Structure 1
């Protein structure tokens, strides 16, 4: 699925676990471009290298855009960021997912395409001192995978000047939970799909299907230009890692994600 690639690729433009710039006034808009190295779909050992635009904004009529996710913080309270301070943001969120194409691999032959999905739900971001927590959750209402997925991230934000001048980094750990509908669509094989593909039938329930370790960085070139990088290692867990899709000759039970880009701030 392309959701993780596209959302993660552009969400990095503003810190996501313990945000750095939430105290600023007025809209902050960033536009740029990046090179992205990512698996073709969940469980693929085949990678794509592609160029893509980077667009994000926050505090634009109250809305925040990170990649293909649009959020509106109904709750925005706290004393700020840093030692002895705390913050809390929460509100509704919608995210778009392009889905998965069965032509991406011979392993997927005989499996139906997974259509586009619109995940409607909410988000929560909280921080205390150097630690931050983020939750993003949504239910598909567009008929792609028809499932529910939630990501829980814990991390910290190290501002520029702490490790190096003009360089800020954010390490984070993320675990992902999904319901039976989502997991069956992404990892499972129905009896009908087994007959069409030759893969064994594989049924799954709800559960934590993936864990990730990520490192995001922002290097401030000047007042407006920024160099952005993302490195992530993602490991699929338990019964989900045993999926015939992930166990296929061109499958993988873990993958990496890498991105480097440049963006310019407007506003």
Structure 2
């Protein structure tokens, strides 16, 4: 008795026709007939009633069909289990993160995953959040850490890490330094230093300005939050950053809440389903590494 004979038998039982069953399993009608006759010989019973144009099961065939399906399902499960083990022994994962983003929990997760599965090659790439999302959707990247506006991208699985508001960051002595809050309209009186289009921070800022009917003066752009902050410290404009970014420059920059920006910047890990075994393992490592982090890493919203 062979698995292919069981497959042919199930095909005939479900199609109720030798010709259609042969087409389904891609062999000749004579070939499928010969294999089922051999199966009947091995079992010592007729499984298919061939007395009419419709192939019907005999009582023995009815009894055998349940077990044939179970045997094929078990064989498929065994193949899948072995495939999953092999994919955890060898393979390749591409991980993306926003440009100039130093996120220790992600690096910790990659390190722990590498120790657990040294045969899997890990490639790390940087890009803007919108391009990372598109590359995840296209299957070019397996897992990405991205900044988004309001919620993780539609159509992708996600693990949100933090959601926080934007602030205007100014150096001591700036006209806004003594304020606790400022509106977008008031911010429009000043040159602005911000991250480029395609980043989470910029998406949140642009959406809020569009909702208020404003077109802000973006004097300078930089991909790295450190560069945005450094330009503001030198008096070249008001930096638009996330709350946690601004805290890194306390003493050199004062964070002023943006009064009418209700859209939060979200930092999230995103991936596409269905996830293979290696990716599922990496996602679990990242979940454990980030844990219950409530304050964002260095570049939320990039």
Normalised by the length of structure 2, the TM-score is 0.19
Greater RCO (Cα-Cα under 8 Å, separation 6 or more): 2
Q: Larger % of helix: which?
A: 2
Structure showing greater radius of gyration is: 2
Normalised by the length of structure 1, the TM-score is 0.21
Q: Larger % of strand: which?
A: 1
